[in-house]
Structure 1
Amino acid sequence: MNWYVLQVMTGREREVCEALRRKGVKARAPAQRMEIRRRGQWQTEERLLLPGYVFVGVDYSAALFHVVSPVYGVIRWLGLHCGEPQALDAREALRWRLDSEETLKPSRVLFHEDGTWHVLDGPLAAFEGCPVRMERRQRRAYVTAELGGIARRVRFGVIPVTEGSGP
């Protein structure tokens, strides 16, 4: 089984996943927990990791293309080459945590006094080497990663840890 990426209508990711599962197709729209500040309080909410995209785990065939494409909300298969979508390699599937159905937890990031930072754990650690913009105050990290051959900006939740404090 390989993982492929579908571009879908934003806001319909979960509906598309459910429709595909009813047709016997393994589908995932990875979600993450993020801390959101509202009315002066930090609250934990679940947000989609990649709004507008759904991953499908299948053995691709032309017949499958015609099962998936008519599902309401599906726009297109990403990474088409010679009329066939290109599967994600195993490393990419692990990077996007497609092996697990659970909601991703925020990454813990150690902030040093000199302004540098280091990812301790969480999904952000898998994107080492990718350009990252860290917003400590907003508890966000923005990563530029490739998905289906196109660079995408992905938002991750961050739990700041300062030097000298315990975990």
Structure 2
Amino acid sequence: MHSLQIGMSGRMPYPEDGRRWFVAHVFTGRERAAEAHLRNQGFETFYPIEIRTVRHARRQLTKERAFLPGYLFVRFDPAQERWRAINGTQGIKRLIMQLERPVPCPRGLVENLLASADENGIIDTSDRLRPGQKVVVRSGPFTDVVGTLERLDNAGRARILLDIMAGERAVRIGIRDIEAF
């Protein structure tokens, strides 16, 4: 899916040419088509996805979802390549721009995502947090309190059992406010 290779050190090399990664805003549901059209034009692309298990009607379904919904990455050299064609590509709303120039991603951002992805562009996020795992709260009124993750929901919230005041109390906290202990 992508042509960058990880070197012996495990780090992604920066290209010696002027090619950088840029972000393209895409129409919802058109990500794969936009990616195919860009590749047909000779652009290197990366559309990271994740596998999510969701509950629906008392069933659990495993689905592919965009890791960054509505966006994909395109690699090119703005001084050497006809990048303006990207904005006219089917499925693309526009490149993220500043004034009249596309804004490159910070060095290492896409390279780290590529290093985390398998050959199909799937980034495994399942090992980050799991029910039953010990977690520590990193912000809010329970900062630095350790608890047990009971469950995660699709709204980005976690239910945690905290051992406070001589007993366990269940609290709901944003997933971004906790980390593995």
- The aligned counterpart of 2:50 is 32
- Structure 1, unmatched stretches of 5+, are 119-133, 143-155
CA distance in 2, matches of 1:93, 1:49: 12
Q: Which amino acid aligns with 2:114?
A: L
- Structure 2, unmatched stretches of 5+, are 1-18, 139-148, 158-174
Cα distance change on mapping 1:69 and 1:54 into 2, 3 Å: same
User: Whose relative contact order is higher, 1 or 2, with alpha carbons under 8 Å and at least 6 apart?
Assistant: 1
Partner-residue secondary structure (3-state), 1:136: strand
1:71 and 2:89 aligned:
yes
Is the CA contact (8 Å cut-off) linking 2:26 and 2:72 kept in structure 1?
yes
CA distance in 1, matches of 2:94, 2:137: 38
- The aligned counterpart of 2:76 is 58
Say which structure is richer in strand.
1
CA distance in 1, matches of 2:102, 2:67: 22
Cα distance change on mapping 1:41 and 1:117 into 2, 3 Å: farther
Cα distance change on mapping 1:141 and 1:26 into 2, 3 Å: same
CA distance in 1, matches of 2:78, 2:156: 34
Map residues 114-133 of structure 1 onto 2, 5 A cutoff. Answer: 116=136
Map residues 1-167 of structure 1 onto 2, 5 A cutoff. Answer: 1-61=19-79, 63-78=81-96, 80-95=97-112, 97-99=113-115, 100=117, 101-108=120-127, 109=129, 111-112=133-134, 116=136, 136-138=151-153, 141=156
Cα distance change on mapping 1:15 and 1:91 into 2, 3 Å: same
Structure 1 residue 89, shift from structure 2 partner: 1.9
Structure 1 residue 141, shift from structure 2 partner: 4.1
- Cα RMSD after superposing both structures: 3.1
User: Which has the larger displacement, 12-21 or 29-38?
Assistant: 29-38
CA distance in 2, matches of 1:44, 1:117: 28
Compute the TM-score of the two structures, normalised by the length of structure 1: 0.62
- Post-superposition CA distance 1:49-81 (Å, at most 9, x none): 122111101222375223212112211111x23
Q: Which amino acid aligns with 1:93?
A: V
Q: Which amino acid aligns with 1:53?
A: Y
Overall identity of the aligned pairs, in %? 24
Is the CA contact (8 Å cut-off) linking 2:45 and 2:72 kept in structure 1?
yes
Is the CA contact (8 Å cut-off) linking 2:76 and 2:83 kept in structure 1?
no
